Structure 1
Amino acid sequence: MRSPAPEREGDDTLVWNVACPTRPSSVPGVAMAGFSDRGRLPEGQRLIPHPAVTLVLDFGPAPPVVDAADGRRHRGSLVAGLGLGGALWARGDDLACVQVRLSPVTAGAALGVRPDELEGAVVPLDALWGRDAARIGERLGEAASWEERFALTDALLARRCAAATPANAVDPEVNRAWDRLVASRGRARVERLADEVGWSRKRLWSRFRAQVGMGPKRAAKLVRFDHAAHRLAAGHDTARVAAEGGYTDQSHLHRDVVAFTGVTPTGVARASFLTVDETAWPTLPLGGVNAGKTV
């Protein structure tokens, strides 16, 4: 298990104990980390959108409370669609969970519902898995170590992927287009992706939207935003982030940041949850962007 980052005197942003698996998931496009709070989340934390579908498996003494961008409040295990549906606000005490980040081209098989059916929203896990959601929470709570919890989670997702129906499969062309967007940090010209995969633009847009959960242009914006958000959190100058991140100017960056989070680039730079990503997702670029074939 990877140790959490050392706490610095006077630093109130490091409120999480973070655990990482010692080996990657056996399921392509899946990464996971374990979180438990340090008893300092009464006012909550803003969660910044990232280019993955998120599965939270709660097993702590008290369930987390998540306020979604659409105004709904959720407790306990949940699934959040690609980009979290906007910034979320999480709070609670004595929290413990396994968080899984799934590539959108893997999520349909693992969850049993395609990302477009989630429509970017937050959904209680029991609405998707029924009683199985409570069972996995109980098993995680009974596990003796984080490694055992990761192994249980990995085995569960592997079984679900093996039993997935063709309805949740992703076309190789869509998988390739997603990989290109991730590899280019959202800077690949979407207009050229159709030519690269051998489809018409209309077909690529339709199939990509149906299987990934958002159109390719918005997906590219989300991947590009993720890269920019982490650079802002690392202390890089806004003008430099915009110039090197593929934005036309600072105003362009500002508009995209506000559109995804509801706050300015300065607000995103202060989002403390971004600071744990380097610890929680050390094998993934930036904030845990999963390519379709590798982790």
Structure 2
Amino acid sequence: MESVSREFVRASPRLDGMVVSAVGYRTRGERPGLHRGLPSPYLTLIFSLDGPVVTGPTPEQAGGRDADRTDIVLGGLHQSPAYVVRPEHEAGIQLAVHPLAARALLGVPAAELAGELVTPGAEVLGRRAADLRELLCEQGGWEERFASLTAYLRQRAASDASGGSVRPEVAEAWAWLARHQGTGTLRGLSRHVALSERRLTTLFRAETGLSPKQAGRLMRFQRARNAVVRPVAAGAAPDLARVAADCGYYDHSHLVRDFRQYTGASPSAWLAEECRNIQAGSYGGGEE
């Protein structure tokens, strides 16, 4: 039986905050199963360097004939986990893209990706993205791959033809939510950007696909998830009550409810599933 190996390599794309994190991954000898792709306040862009990424909104669909299969994955902002088939071996590069950079990097606002859990990336990015994936597969090392990917994204940003920019009120609303780590109120946010709550929600949803309240909840959950992961990566048990208090939840039960919505499991059950990947370095860094 092939021994299990996991490799996760992080890079820091110098793209003016448009890409929040970049991770190259390669695993071998895994027991086939399902992985939960969790909601986050960032878009997901994956270039598979192995076979297609197979996903579905439920475990049954991911494992069936109706599963989505694509070599380049684009994921919008969503409110429930995506189930990803974990094969015996896989490799790729996964980026967390700031949703307000979607126009510049992807050519569409993030809201256009919100209708489907996963969108085939070549349908949005075009033939050059498929050519880039072939190049990444041929290249021999992570540094070379990250350099090629960064050059491609810089060129897309420089030739942005999305036909419009993000409204300043929406950009400031996102920044305000991020500063408050998802715990601010819609009333306080609307006052800050000098728009009515209804108008702000309409503009924000048209750009991102989420309401400000939904985006704030994702930011808070992302912070809580990272706080839960850090002690596990160091070989310790997380203090969930402390995490809940630090991240602005009413209590431990409130944190558990969010975990159940966003992961489909309790915090302890999700950690048990992901413990080996966490300790191998697949989580954390660059996304807070």
Which category describes the TM-score, using the shorter chain as reference length?
Answer: 0.7 to 0.9
User: How big is each residue's C-alpha offset from its partner over 1:46-95, in whole Å with a ceiling of 9 and x where there is no partner?
Assistant: 232222100001122x3332233494523322111124752433312332
Cα distance, 1:104 vs. partner? 0.6
- What's the secondary structure of 1:270's corresponding residue? helix
Counterpart-to-counterpart distance in 2, 1:164 and 1:73: 32
Match of 1:173 in 2: 169
Shift of the alpha carbon at 1:97? 0.9
Distance 2:79 2:129 in 1: 20
Q: Percent identity?
A: 32
State the Cα deviation string for residues 4-55 of structure 1 (Å, max 9, x = none). xxxxxxxx9x85301122x532343203121111331522422322221000
Alignment of 1:33-44 (within 5 A): 33-44=23-34
Unaligned 5+ segments in structure 2 are: 232-236
Report Cα offsets for 1:245-273 as digits up to 9, x if no partner: 21112232222222222212222333417
Matches within 5 A, 1:234-249: 234=231, 235-249=237-251
SS at match of 1:20: strand
Whether 2:24 is the aligned partner of 1:28: answer no
1:103 aligns with 2:93: no
Where 1:78 maps in the other structure, the secondary structure is strand
Residue among 274, 278, 282 paired with 1:275? 278
The answer for the alignment partner of 2:257 in structure 1 is 255
Query: What's the counterpart of residue 67 of structure 2?
Result: 73
After superposition, where does 1:38-187 map in structure 2 within 5 Å?
A: 38-60=28-50, 62-69=51-58, 71=61, 73-75=67-69, 76-83=71-78, 85-119=80-114, 121-167=117-163, 169-187=165-183
| Greater relative contact order, per chain length (Cα 8 Å cut-off, separation 6+) | 1
Alpha-carbon spacing, 1:84–1:138, altered in 2? closer, same or farther (3 Å):
farther
Whether the aligned pair in 2 keeps the contact of 1:48 and 1:271 (CA below 8 Å) is no
Task: Compute the RMSD of aligned alpha carbons.
Answer: 2.6
Letter in 1 for 2:36: R
TM-score by length of 2: 0.83
Structure 1 residues 113-122 or 86-95, which shifts more?
86-95
Q: Is the 8 A contact 1:232 1:268 kept in 2?
A: no
Q: SS of the residue aligned with 1:89?
A: strand
Partner of 1:6: none
Q: Number of paired residues?
A: 271
Which has the higher mean CA deviation after the structures are superposed, 130-139 or 62-71?
Answer: 62-71
The answer (yes or no) to whether the contact 2:56–2:84 under 8 Å persists in 1 is yes
Whether the 8 Å contact between 1:47 and 1:90 is mirrored in structure 2 is: no
Counterpart CA distance in 2 for 1:265 and 1:252 is 12
CA distance in 2, matches of 1:160, 1:263: 38
- Would you say the 8 A contact 2:102–2:108 is kept in 1? yes
Using structure 1 for the length normalisation, give the TM-score: 0.81
Kept in 2: contact 1:36–1:96 (CA 8 A): yes
**Displacement of 1:147 after TM fit?**
1.3
Gaps of 5+ in 1: 1-11, 290-295
2:9/2:142 contact within 8 Å kept: yes
SS of equivalent residue, structure 1 residue 55: strand
